[in-house]
Amino acid sequence: MNNDYIHNNLTADCENCFGLCCVALPYAKSADFAFDKDGGTPCQNLQSNYRCGIHNKLRKKGFRGCAVYECFGAGQKVSQVTYDGNDWRDNPKLAKEMFDVFPIIQQLHEMLCYLNEALSLEAAQPIYNDLQVALEETEYLTNLSPKAIIDLNVNVPAHRKKVNDLLLRTSELVRAKVPLKKNKNQKKQNKVRRGSDFIGANLRGADLRGTDLRGALLIASDLREADLRVTDLIGADLRDADLRGANLIGSIFLTQAQVNSAKGDINTKLPPSITIPDHWI
């Protein structure tokens, strides 16, 4: 994986964004948000300089959802490239269009993040050319004009399916190299499958190497000391999952946002591209 490219282009850079996630996106009062907000309405915590007034206290103030959100660099792309530095406050006629463009670019940037990771995996060499083509096509779409991006929105699901098919093939190629290990936790391992509901499940110490956990609901699950090496975690919901002592080295399609939503400690082993969240320490 080209970590410099990911860091510079596919990771949120709030300094170069017009607070788009704080305005464009709606949210409802819940455990993740302290109040309701309509899409296109600035959050009351957004300051005139486009910075969050409670950024260092998001969790304490009831905005855990904001603390774990990741735009994959869409914010700065829309602000500085698509709109060439013209912000929505000084250019109110652009506001609605900009807010409509932002979530589309966010989806495309998320795909770019996964495709870049797939291209870095040796096991994916048999489909390297297909992955490269998909990456170039996705990058091209992010550089269209605002109107073209909005018109593109109806075709985004079809493009996502094409990308997802390649990511599925990547996952199969990577995980095929992991032998299943029979041990006392094999029963737990056999029950865990793609898209499964394991909210609050006891998976402590489970050997989950090479498991497909795409889209699995692992909310508040006990994954302490679990072996999650070479697992596919794309779309897995890890909110409040206990990862203390778990080994996620070599897991694929794991994002910083997923880790930020979980619980862990200094004994949690993470891929090099993922940093230990502040609230773990």
27 and 84 co-located in one domain: yes
- Note the pLDDT of residue 53: 95
156, 175, 194 — which closes off a domain? 175
Residues 13 and 147 in one domain: yes
Domain boundary among 124, 150, 175: 175
Threshold 0.85, pTM exceeds? yes
Could you tell me the CA-to-CA distances from 185 to 114, 142, 197 in Å, in that order? 30, 45, 18
Same domain, 43 and 24: yes
Alpha-carbon distance of 261 to 193, in angstroms, equals 21
Same domain? For 10 and 148 the reply is yes
CATH number for the domain that contains residue 215: 2.160.20.80
| Co-location of 10 and 36 in the same domain | yes
Please name which of 261, 264, 255 lies closest in space to residue 110, comparing C-alpha atoms.
255
Single residue among 175, 191, 223 that ends a domain in this structure: 175
Tens digit of pLDDT at every position of the chain (281 positions): 556 676 678 999 999 999 999 999 999 999 999 999 999 999 999 999 999 999 999 999 999 999 999 999 999 999 999 999 999 999 999 999 999 999 999 999 999 999 999 999 999 999 999 999 999 999 999 999 999 999 998 899 999 999 999 999 999 999 998 886 655 455 555 456 565 789 999 999 999 999 999 999 999 999 999 999 999 999 999 999 999 999 999 999 999 999 999 999 999 999 998 999 988 98
Helices marked H in the chain — which ranges?
3-9, 64-68, 74-76, 95-119, 128-142, 146-152, 156-175, 186-191, 256-261
**170 and 207, same domain (yes or no):** no
Whether residue 191 is found in the same domain as residue 70:
no
How confident is the model at residue 154, as a pLDDT? Answer: 82
Query: 27 and 44 share a domain?
Result: yes
Range of the structural domain that residue 246 is part of: 179-281
Domain count, the chain: 2
88 with 203, same domain: the answer is: no
Q: Which of 53, 52, 28 is nearest to 38 (CA)?
A: 28
Task: Kindly tell me the number of DSSP H helices and DSSP E strands found in the chain.
Answer: 9, 0
Please give the angle made by the CA atoms of 167, 171 and 173, to the nearest 5 degrees: 115
Q: What is the DSSP string of 150-184?
A: HHHGGGHHHHHHHHHHHHHHHHHHHHTTS----ST
In this prediction, residue 209 carries a pLDDT of 96
**Which residues, in sequence order, are CB contacts of 105 under 8 Å at separation 6+?**
74, 77, 78, 82, 142, 149
Are 262 and 184 members of one domain? yes
Most distant pair of Cα atoms in the chain: their distance: 63
Say yes or no: 242 and 142 in one domain.
no
Residue 52 backbone dihedrals phi, psi, to 5 degrees:
-80, 130
For 35, other C-beta atoms within 10 Å of its C-beta total: 13
36 and 49 in a single domain? The answer is yes
